[in-house]
């Protein structure tokens, strides 16, 4: 018999449009494979690293110019790998401390690869997983 299991989906957005970002994203995937908690949750899924299928745009507010009155704002395209981690039987609030640590590790990966990021996004969604009842 089937049952709906409450869960949370964690989505990591990993810029992967340059060789350095490719290295950082690969290192994040390797990191996830080494994490005990990710194994306990059952694993993760990611889109293609070799040909990132998601393009996003972020509004870069730029730096203040010499006149101190204008910014060099512009849209910046961003090729991204999406990583999904479904966490059964956990709600968003229970995951916050872990996700803060994970975001720090992601930032370190990009910085180490020579492409520090202004902002890395981790999003969360409440969801239900259709599973089998164990009792």
Angle at 108 between CA 31 and CA 29, to 5 degrees: 25
pLDDT per residue of the chain (135 residues) written in tens, 0 to 9: 888 999 999 999 999 999 999 999 999 999 999 999 999 999 999 999 999 989 989 888 876 555 555 667 889 889 999 999 999 998 888 899 999 999 999 999 999 999 999 889 999 999 988 988 665
Give pLDDT, residue 110. 98
Angle at 20 between CA 18 and CA 21, to 5 degrees: 65
Give pLDDT, residue 35. 96
Give pLDDT, residue 76. 87
Enter the tokens of residue 32: 């996830």
Enter the tokens of residue 62: 């730029």
Give pLDDT, residue 131. 83
Q: Which residue reads 């293609």 in tokens?
A: 48
């Amino acid at each position: 018999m089937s049952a709906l299991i409450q869960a949370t989906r964690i989505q990591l957005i990993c810029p992967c449009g340059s060789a350095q970002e490719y290295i950082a994203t690969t290192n994040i995937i390797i990191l996830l494979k080494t994490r005990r908690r990710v194994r306990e949750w059952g694993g993760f899924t990611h889109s293609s690293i070799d040909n990132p299928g998601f393009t996003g745009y972020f509004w870069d507010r730029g730096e203040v110019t010499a006149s101190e009155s204008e910014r060099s704002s512009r849209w910046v395209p961003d090729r991204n790998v999406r990583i999904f981690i479904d966490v059964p039987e956990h709600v968003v609030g229970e995951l916050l401390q872990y996700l803060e640590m994970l975001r720090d590790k992601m930032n370190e990966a990009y910085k180490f690869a020579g492409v520090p990021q202004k902002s890395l996004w981790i999003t969360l969604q409440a969801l239900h997983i259709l599973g089998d009842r164990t009792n």
